Structure 1
């Protein structure tokens, strides 16, 4: 599959670029970025060409992969879908519910395949855990806690990311937490949220099944306090998210590419498609409103 890359930041350089170049069933056609000089530099590293116009890249591709801030991604992805390109999207698909829904409508109208890259859903160890728990009945509660040191003194390449600084961990790692909790616990009916120190937020979810869950999300802890954990409790006992394997996010992204290829060839929706991405945006937007109001807010759906 001929595929293009949109984005030139650390995520594009460290994850998307290597995965797109190394995948045996994709041909990296080129790179587009908002800064032409950065696009040229990354294209040189990846042994491909830089495009000055995203529409020209869409015209030369069967699919495109996004490593852009969410509210830059959404309108560009809608244009790519209209051009007939299958979409490998990053999470969150947007931080605005209307923008997310407009993208979903464009995907549906064009009939293209879409996969949203929720890293833990494509890492083999954690993906297998989610699948096993989703097939188990009787869960009554769960939690997903993401304590990240990106703003807390680490040397993370993402510490300078303007959109992460603006929107915080709720929007950056909240999608990952929801991607773990929603499959086994089901649809969210209501959301409560409270702020902690820094960008920390605590979110409580009531699921339509009657189960409840919580998320603690932050980029503001010191490195020695960082961890990523999740667990479920119910009639089957207690189960805990396993550790991810070594190798970073490149291997999971290659598996997301596998999923996009399969969805495009078979014409079947993937569980982590644009519609799941929209629901994640809706829930996070509801949490943001709850933080502003200090009250429990019904979780609106499409």
Structure 2
């Protein structure tokens, strides 16, 4: 049994619920043939990863959804072994290099080198390049970013990069200038209400418009968070009521209680 946020995730650009004009532009980008490096950025829960996966499906077909988790061991120049987990299909590789901490530069260089030098399995029906999806690139060290810039130039013929992050403010200019920037804005309150109502309808549930509005506002325009809260409300109480309590995330409750404890009594004994 999967969460609603995964169960109803759109699988193609044509099925996206909002920013449809942007989806049409991405489809045109795929069809034009000259596919560039991409820098996809926007707030959490805006749909960046969903759009990237839809774009990959447009590029390679359904085979891109046959994913496997791979654990790779990379040896740093200091002889230290770096363990990193990746998600891969026959056509793309997804990795978060910042998981390796200060060794992110080595991870980027070795993984991109391996992917760029490997051959496509179905060259007759597929593109002549593979895609590497790097997430949270705004958390990379400056050394890693400069290494990434050099690697982008070296393996452009056989490898395309899709960089995903929340903000471009921490990404060096040379990387930004080598990518086509795609900003994914947060969905509007109306967009989130529409998605929540649509998902509940597919589940055979009736969602009061007032509750949908409260969920959308409390989520901070984060669609993933809104769907998770809506599913929590379903577990807590159904039929829905317009004024029912919306459960908070456990980490939010913990942080608030911790902050209150710190503010409430600032003594050595505490």
State the structure with more CA Rg.
2
Using structure 1 for the length normalisation, give the TM-score: 0.27
Pick the structure with more helix per residue. Answer: 2
Normalised TM-score (structure 2): 0.29
Normalized per residue, the structure richer in strand is 1
